[in-house]
Structure 1
């Protein structure tokens, strides 16, 4: 399984890291030895909304080569949803089996056309913004509709990572990763 983490300037680091931590444990703890991942962006490095810089190992890849893409949120999404270059790049993920976002990353999935007639969520402060892309905005922490999985606000990224671990490799695997992370809050506010 190949995962593409879609990064951009002014993302919220916890949106990315909370999800990244759980998903990558599928490999580091020996559950999915074939799991690989790339940090993908349109430039060699990006900075979050507070100055952390991430070095990118895949610049402008064709996203169709991934089995799962993950789009975090952050203030950068406000402008990116109208950035033609970025949205056209994101559209290369049309055939990707799992399209996942957390927080306002769902605005980018929406701008790429992936949320038409799809239930989705976002950060509670962004519900009205999300309505321009779907009339099925759910006020829940995790929403799965078809192959689109969206998460609510920032800390939801940890729960979303565990949810995807469970989806990929079952509840026992997710429970073992959850225990390793010492995270007691998983499984609240999920809509399938």
Structure 2
């Protein structure tokens, strides 16, 4: 039987953080013999947090089986708690996927689908500790691998996540070649890109505001997941 291309399936959704997707996607585009499928309920353009849209390439019903399932983050990731079809899609895809992955708060969507229970995972720092509600072990690192789960932290860490995945799939030499091709050599003008480098009171304020906004929904979804798992 002839081999087929590697399939990466991305679950998109309204209010996705575009760089969570487009950063890794630029690296994915350099993967050898790889297809990228952007899945959603319909093929209508999906509004991102940047004010412009991404067009899906397939629907949840018609999407092929993934080798790698990838969920970016954004405010819309929490809306997936109330989307049983999208969560079921992830669970179904995960049964045969080689890797189950996310960036930023996409880990909360995976967690709501029951795909991170008992795993180490990361997310955006302002939301990270809330992963505990789903029985996930939150780890404050830029990229976290636990068995066949790979999760990236906030937004720009998606590029590091994609290189980690590239090395797992094709080896470090291929990952290094892609890094050179896209000139990924970050030297930020400000050394203020993580909570450990910021004012502690500012960090605390952002975490509190984030938890006030999201924690009730996280707990509700975690409770629903626990009930489902108990009855399974």
- The answer, yes or no, to whether TM exceeds 0.5 is yes
Deviant stretches of 4+, over 2 Å: 61-64
Report the equivalent of 2:73.
73
Shift of 1:114: 0.6
Normalising by structure 1, what TM-score?
A: 0.88
**Paired residue total:** 179
Structure richer in helix, relative to its length: 2
Contact 2:70 2:100 in 1 (8 A): yes
Residue 11 in structure 1 maps to residue 16 in structure 2? yes
Q: CA deviation at 1:159?
A: 0.7
Residue 56 of structure 1, CA deviation: 1.1
Q: Name structure 2 gaps, 5 residues minimum.
A: 1-5, 187-232
CA distance in 1, matches of 2:63, 2:56: 14
2:139 & 2:77 partners in 1: Cα distance?
Answer: 19
Aligned ranges 1:149-168 → 2 under 5 Å: 149-168=150-169
Check whether the contact 1:63–1:93 (CA below 8 A) recurs between aligned residues.
no
Q: Tell me which residue corresponds to 1:53.
A: 53
Query: What's the counterpart of residue 37 of structure 1?
Result: 36
- Aligned 8 A contact 1:64 1:92 in 2: no
In structure 1, runs of 5+ residues without a counterpart are 27-31, 186-192
How high is the TM-score relative to the length of structure 2? 0.73
Please say which of residues 83-92 and 159-168 is displaced more in the overlay.
Answer: 83-92
What residue in structure 2 maps to residue 138 of structure 1?
Answer: 139
Q: Look at both structures and tell me which one has the larger radius of gyration over its CA atoms.
A: 2
Cα RMSD after superposing both structures? 1.4
1 or 2 for the larger relative contact order (CA 8 Å, sep ≥6)?
A: 1
> How far did residue 42 of structure 1 move?
1.3
